[in-house]
Amino acid sequence: MPKITYITHDNNKHTIDVDNGLTVMEGAVQNDIPGIDADCGGGMACATCHVYVKEDWLNKLPKKEDGEEDMLDMAFEPKSNSRLSCQLLVSDDLDGLIVNIPSKQG
């Protein structure tokens, strides 16, 4: 099972086994990792599952769909390595992924 590491704003590391087929957002929500709100439930409609992806992972992730960049306009302090975690589908390719959670979601 792929391991995903979530680093919260206060620098707590949570490394979780997340099932293939779930999203990085669902992995966080199901394991009570604080800081990912996911208000809309994964519909790419709210930008409250915003994460910063470790730079060396950026190119290994599936490309953003059009709507994702638009939603990121509304995220709290977006950066060049910002992604919506509801759009990151977990697979073996993502084993070892590290994401940082922003200080707030809005």
Partner 1 sequence: MNKTDAIIIGAGPTGLFTAHQLNLIGLNCEIIDNLNKIGGQCIELYPDKPIYDIPAVPECTGKELTNNLINQLKPFDIKFHLNQRVDEVKKDNDNWFVKTNNGKTFLTPNVIIAGGVGSFEPRRFSPKECEKYENKSLFYAIKDKKIFEGKIVTIFGGGDSALDWAIELSKNSRVTLIHRRDEFRGAKSTVNKMNELVKSGKISLLTKYQLTNVMGSDQIQNIEIKHDDGKTKNIKTDYILGFFGLIMQLGPIADWGLNIDKKTITVDTEKFETNQKGIYAVGDICSYPGKLKLILSGFHEGALAARACFKLARPNEKYRFEFTTTSSNLLKRLGKKE
Binding site for partner 1 (CB under 8 A): 37, 39-41, 43, 45-46, 48, 69-70, 73-74, 76-78, 80, 105-106
Please state, in angstroms and rounded to a whole number, the distance separating the CA atoms of residues 25 and 89: 9
How near is the Cβ of 60 to partner 1 at its closest, in Å? 22
CB closer to partner 1, 20 vs 30: 30
Question: Other C-beta atoms within 10 Å of 54: how many?
Answer: 15
* CA-closest candidate to residue 85, choices 7, 20, 23: 23
**The dihedral sign for the CA sequence 39, 40, 42, 47:** negative
Among residues 100 and 105, whose Cβ is nearest to partner 1? 105
In the complex, what is the shortest distance from the CB of residue 73 to partner 1, in angstroms, rounded to a whole number?
5
| Between 76 and 91, CB nearer to partner 1 | 76
